Structure 1
């Protein structure tokens, strides 16, 4: 089983997703946002997962720069909020990659010079459906001022379809649907009556809660990608 291949593939896809889709044309202090270095994917292995810390640190610096914009009199609150949501999702995505492969390293063993893993489909399904339930709970517990919207409802319905799943293939298909639905409502407008928020104390706390829900969702997507690929390579039922 080539764990390094899964790691490189997953990390590469996440970098492309954020750099070429989420952060395209987005700037902080007139600087373009691009995460990672050209040689990171080439050099990283499951033995040097700490390399991911450099990306996480980049995200943290960008979040700090974005938060500092709030101190300016001409701050665009809407831009701040939408950028924070994307950056918090990126933070969770890269953190989840490191955490998941660290956990997988503890499950690996060798037999006749072949790398194997103590993992089965039922365990993975329980892990992913439990993860999905946490995501759904976070969205459903958002403040009442968040708008009821058909697209948001469709997103939550996708989560509800995943929770009772008993087959990893079904989860993979539904996770892709979730990502599509999420991409459709990336703009803050779909979630929030922004005009009401900026006039009320505590709106930043609501943005933090929405950021947390979106970040948890991104963690779910990353876990589905990693563990479904591990099961496939392990030759287990999939």
Structure 2
């Protein structure tokens, strides 16, 4: 409880509605209870510590504690990781050796372009005839061979289509001999037969203001000529339809 001044004891008694003597007695009883409780807690803690010490002393030498178990687990995981690393290194080494043993694919060299056509001229006393013999190109008319990986590609391809190569097509490959792509006769759009959609022009601000004035006159019951009345009724019906549509949403 500690030492309290007489003024502090009087304030406590006045606050709790007790006399000074009764308040002193209550404070003493509370202090005794607090001390007993602290003493009991210390006693229980000492008993628990003694029991733990006895259990540790009674443990046989063969029993594995939590610390030794964790250490054994860590050691086992380290061994497993070392084994895995050794196995991976061994596999990589074997793959490299196998790749070295494999002989590379023979590379085919591109033949030189064909010489220009040779012309032979035969001269007679009466007539002169010129015979031209054209030599066929050594390249295939529908494919070209990649100089890097020896893959055969379509003649229109600008790069090699192999998975391991993207070599561009050699400039010596002739593509001018190919026939042009056929053009489609069916046109996508024929303005003579297609339907043309024409939207009505949007009302100007003056027209909108005129429509509002007609609606106001119709609602207020003012006199209007026959044409304005008909126009105002059309606008009113349109306004009602829009309001009904909004209410359904």
Question: TM-score if structure 2 supplies the norm length?
Answer: 0.17
TM-score, structure 1 normalization: 0.17
Bigger relative contact order (CA 8 A; separation at least 6): 1
Structure showing greater radius of gyration is 2
Which is richer in helix? 1
